[in-house]
Amino acid sequence: MDIEEQIRKMCLKFITPPNALILALTAANTDLANSDALKLARDVDPRGERTIGVVTKIDLMDEGTDALELLQGKIYPLKLGYFGVKGRSQKNINDNMTIA
């Protein structure tokens, strides 16, 4: 069995029980439709009732783009919604941008 299948089986073990909350992490600078985390979550929670979307790397998105529609659940709706994670780049740190 290859490593990908081993990881999939391990994840399914924890997210299959109906009382489990699923944290589906997806990078904002990738195509949401190809998110492995959301695909796996969809297999066991097709209506998105117990899945929480976590969108990382918002700070690395191309200039002129944003994650607003994704975070609002317009692209792939989840009952529990999405949370965005934005880091500070080295330029932000050099420019004394605060964490707040």
DSSP 76: S
- What are the residues whose beta carbons fall under 8 Å from the beta carbon of 76, sequence distance 6 or more? 32, 38, 48, 53, 70
**pTM (whole model) above 0.85:** no
> Which residues are CB-neighbours of 61 under 8 A, at least 6 positions away?
28, 29, 67
User: Residue 80's CB: how many other CB atoms inside 10 A?
Assistant: 15
Predicted confidence (pLDDT) per residue in 42-58, tens digit = 999 999 999 999 998 88
* Domain at 3-94, CATH class: alpha beta
| Lowest-confidence segment of 18-27, 44-53, 80-89 by average pLDDT | 80-89
Residue 11 to residues 8, 32, 38, 85: CA-CA distances in angstroms? Answer: 5, 19, 12, 22
Rg of the chain (C-alpha set): 16
